Amino acid sequence: MATLNAGNERSRNSRANFGIPNYVRVASDIRQDIVYDRLSDGQRLTTIELAQHYGLSLAPVREALLALAAEGLVVIHPKRGAVVCAVTPAFLRDIYEVRLGLIPYIEGERAALATDDDIARMVAAEQEYEHAVSTGVNEDIIQSNIKFHQTMATVRVNIQAEQILARHHLLTQELRRRYGFVGPHRSRAIEEHNRLIAAYKRGSKSDARETSRIHLQSAFDELLDIMQHARSSLGMPQPAEV
C-alpha cells in the first residue's frame, strides 16, 4: 500500500497517547490521502492490505472503510474491498447542496432560541477567529472557525439534521487544510459572522437564514474556485458538469 500517506506510521505513534480509536485514525489517514490525490479515483483498497500497512487487525480497518463509505469517499464491494471516490468539484457541489438546504434552516431556528449567554459565547469565538485571521496561520483559522460554528451548535434544534451534516465535517476540514483560504474570503467571512451574530441578537429567523445561506454559498464558491485552479495547475482534467 505504498501510495498511502508516508507519515501514517509516525502519525499512528504520536496519536496513540490521546486514545484515538484505531478505526478513526485509519479513516483520517485514508481521507487525507484521497483529498491530497495520493489515492486516485477508482483505486482499489483491500482490508488485508490496509491491515498489513497499519499493523492492525481487520476489524478496525473495516470500521474505517464503513465510515469513509458513509462520507461517499469509498464504495464497498462485498468480498472485493473498497474503491476510492475522488473529491471532484461535482462531489463538492453535492455536499454543499445538502448543507445549503439544512444549515440556513437550522440557523434560523437557533437564532430564535439563543440566550444571551449563547450569544456571548458566539461573540468571544468570533473574536478568536478574527485574531486567527490576523495571524494568517491556516490551521488556526480552521480551528477557530470550527469553534465559532460549534458554539452556535450548542443550541440544539434538530438532531437528525445535525447528524446528516456531521457526515462531511471532517472532509470539509481536510479540504481547507489542503486548499486554504483566499484573502477576500477571510474578510468576507468576518463580516458574515458578525451579521449572523446580529441576527441572533435580534432573534430574527429570516435574517439568520439569509446570512447563513450567503455565508455557505460564498464558502462553496471560493473553495470550488481554488480546487479547480489547483487541478488545472497540476494538469488534472476538469470533470464535466452534472
| CATH class given for the domain over 8-84 | mainly alpha
Spacing of C-alpha 208 from chain mean position: 22
Mean pLDDT of 150-175: 91
- Cell 469517499 appears where? 73
Q: What is the per-residue pLDDT across 107-155, written as a single tens digit (0 to 9) for each? A: 999 999 999 999 999 999 999 999 999 998 999 999 999 999 999 888 8
At residue 236, the pLDDT reads 60
Confidence of residue 217 (pLDDT cuts 50, 70, 90): very high
Stretch(es) of the chain classified as CATH 1.20.120.530: 89-233
- Single pTM value for the model: 0.84
Confidence of residue 189 (pLDDT cuts 50, 70, 90): very high
Q: Quick check: 75 and 83 in contact, CB under 8 A?
A: yes
Q: How far apart are CA 196 and CA 123, in angstroms?
A: 10
Helix H segments across the chain?
Answer: 8-15, 22-35, 47-54, 58-71, 89-113, 116-135, 138-153, 159-166, 169-179, 183-202, 205-233
Stretch(es) of the chain classified as CATH 1.10.10.10: 8-84
Question: Which is it for strands 44-45 and 81-84: parallel, antiparallel or unpaired?
Answer: antiparallel
Average pLDDT over the chain reads 88
Fold of 89-233: Four Helix Bundle (Hemerythrin (Met), subunit A) (1.20.120)
Question: Which is it for strands 74-77 and 44-45: parallel, antiparallel or unpaired?
Answer: unpaired
Q: Quick check: 207 and 199 in contact, CB under 8 A?
A: yes
Q: How far apart are CA 207 and CA 192, in angstroms?
A: 11
